Structure 1
């Protein structure tokens, strides 16, 4: 039996919207960290573990503006608090945003009838007491528990409740495929070049066939270069990679917690897909979970190995849609 908690319409203010080299939405590690913090509290009282979460975004607003009314956006920054001399403190750039999200939390076991009401009430309190992505949770519409032996029926009931909104899934396998295609034509291409192709807005000049470019001067038509794949694809931060050996506890000075072993890491990046919930056949395909192998510590969904299965009509309709110009990465 599958068991899910639905935290519906969490409104968060001043969340961190910078994730490594990207910005526009909190890193997925923020949401799994939020889930892990809730899981530790539930384990103490109920012996229940939350093993993953799905993220559905309903609304977002990055705190940025255009200083001249046009051109590049910059973050809206504040200088607070004052220094001990009463002067304004130097600005440390930070990106903030307001957002409304719903989280589908996966539980590891079923609950008795007597536990269900207590769990829902406790989770409603805990979800609003702790921060999400560094931001304050200012409201929560409600907490619900969904359990069913029929996974398909449960997925339809749960995901359609998330409309309107977009659920974030992992499609990092598209990055690997695009890199292999890129190297075939550009041997010096790097994985970074392939990753930037999912975010950069690129145009190329096209000259009509009946124009002799060597003699005639003719204005070229600038045509948008399509992204490597169809869909609402965005570059995302997906986890970390170790760049040093694992040091024993206390061996590294000024570490955050000297009671545990320590390792230096760098951010790892992939490609995500924003997808309408009604197009997800199985909620388990959009649940983010931690995966660790060797030096890699990543967040992934089932769609990172198995792409979402669409009907041929859906695939054809998706290919005909104009590509959305994303304004935030």
Structure 2
């Protein structure tokens, strides 16, 4: 029998103006680095402000609603970002600025933590978490509200009453998971990374003739939309790759740590109906480092295995 899984559920965080520019190439749901960064910031605040000793290991993001702030007028081919134009200049006019993509979110978070007898997660700690969250930022956005956090202890993480109760409480919701396997499969067939990514997110439209037994009538047509594979596949940003040696930079944020320039790592992800996961580990993300290849990533704790046609 596997070890018990200890989880904290943060239900229905309402976030205003979260950063939707998840990488230089993608717009939409915030990058996974933002979500794990929030978990890390919450852990540090609990330990520093309340002198606790909690350790958060992994996090799952379940989306209930993502309202991307874009607009497409009649006859427009592409969407435009709805910008706020802040701050105005001294004459009250909009100053030149780089447009910032924003989204409003309703998400629930699952945080996996280490059981600690010296600093257990109890009702008092959950109340402190509930007090702290509205004072924090999430993906650059303001947290308007959050329901009372809850604690779950799953005996083995798989099909049991507590797991079913937890997943049902998160419905309707879609958990963001990684689909790196699709990228690897396409690249093994000879495609480069960008072509592989675009191939899976492209929607193909096809005009199909409808069969009609009445030959005297003109045969009607219909449009069909199709993607390369089933599922809600999206591009996601999951970390960074260093592109310069470690060193020191002028006016760097932390003078004690080494600095390096990096670029975003983009791969494919999927929004999966949360009740289709067999265990929490299939939707949990954690930090992973590959110093040999200068990679600083967010990875799945236990990637979900997909069968053909799923």
TM-score scaled by structure 2? 0.86
Residues 279-290 of structure 1 correspond to what in structure 2 (within 5 A)?
279-290=276-287
Name the SS of the counterpart of 1:141 in structure 2.
coil
Aligned to 1:326: none
Q: Is the 8 A contact 2:207 2:223 kept in 1?
A: yes
Secondary structure of 2:94's counterpart equals coil
Shift of 1:244: 1.1
* Contact 2:154–2:163 (8 Å) recurs in 1: no
The corresponding residue for 1:160 is 168
Greater share of helix: 1
Partner of 1:243: 243
The residue correspondences of 1:193-204 to structure 2 (distance < 5 A) are: 193-203=195-205
Which residue is 2:140 aligned to? 134
Query: Which of 31, 34, 44 does residue 30 from structure 1 map onto?
Result: 34
Equivalence for 1:176: 184
Q: Which runs of 5+ in 2 are unaligned?
A: 210-220
* Separation of aligned partners in 1, 2:119 and 2:245: 48
| CA distance in 2: counterparts of 1:113 and 1:50, whole angstroms | 13
Match of 2:265 in 1: 268
Match of 1:106 in 2: 112
Q: Please state how far the C-alpha of 1:283 moved relative to its aligned partner.
A: 0.4
Give distance in 2, aligned partners of 1:9 and 1:163. Answer: 11
Matching residue within 19, 40, 43 for 2:44: 40
Shift of 1:275: 0.6
In the TM superposition, what is the alpha-carbon distance from 1:37 to its structure 2 partner? Answer: 0.1
| Partner in structure 2 of residue 292 of structure 1 | 289
Task: Go from structure 1 to structure 2 and tell me whether the alpha carbon gap of 1:83 and 1:201 turns closer, same or farther (over 3 Å shift).
Answer: same
From the superposition, tell whether residues 146 and 91 of structure 1 become closer, same or farther in structure 2 (CA, over 3 Å). Answer: same
Give the Cα–Cα distance (whole angstroms) in 1 for the partners of residues 249 and 119 of structure 2. 48
Is 1:77 aligned to 2:83, yes or no? Answer: yes
Match of 1:64 in 2: 70
| CA pair 114-5 structure 1, distance change in 2 beyond 3 A | closer
Q: Deviations over 1:57-88 (max 9, x none)?
A: 00111111114454211011122222245443
Runs of 4+ more than 6 Å apart: 204-207, 220-223
Query: What is the CA distance between 1:91 and its match in structure 2?
Result: 3.2
Do the aligned partners of residues 14 and 111 (structure 1) sit closer, same or farther apart at CA in structure 2, a change above 3 Å counting?
Answer: farther
- Unmatched runs of 5 consecutive residues or more in structure 1: 184-188, 208-219, 319-329
User: Which moves more between the two structures, 190-199 or 105-114?
Assistant: 105-114
- 1:55 to 2:58 alignment: no
In 2: Cα distance, 1:101 partner to 1:134 partner: 15
- CA distances 1:215-261 after superposition (whole Å, capped 9, x unpaired): xxxxx99865531x3211111111101111111xxx31132222210
Go from structure 1 to structure 2 and tell me whether the alpha carbon gap of 1:111 and 1:73 turns closer, same or farther (over 3 Å shift).
farther
Determine helix, strand or coil for the equivalent of 2:176.
strand
Partner of 2:18: 15
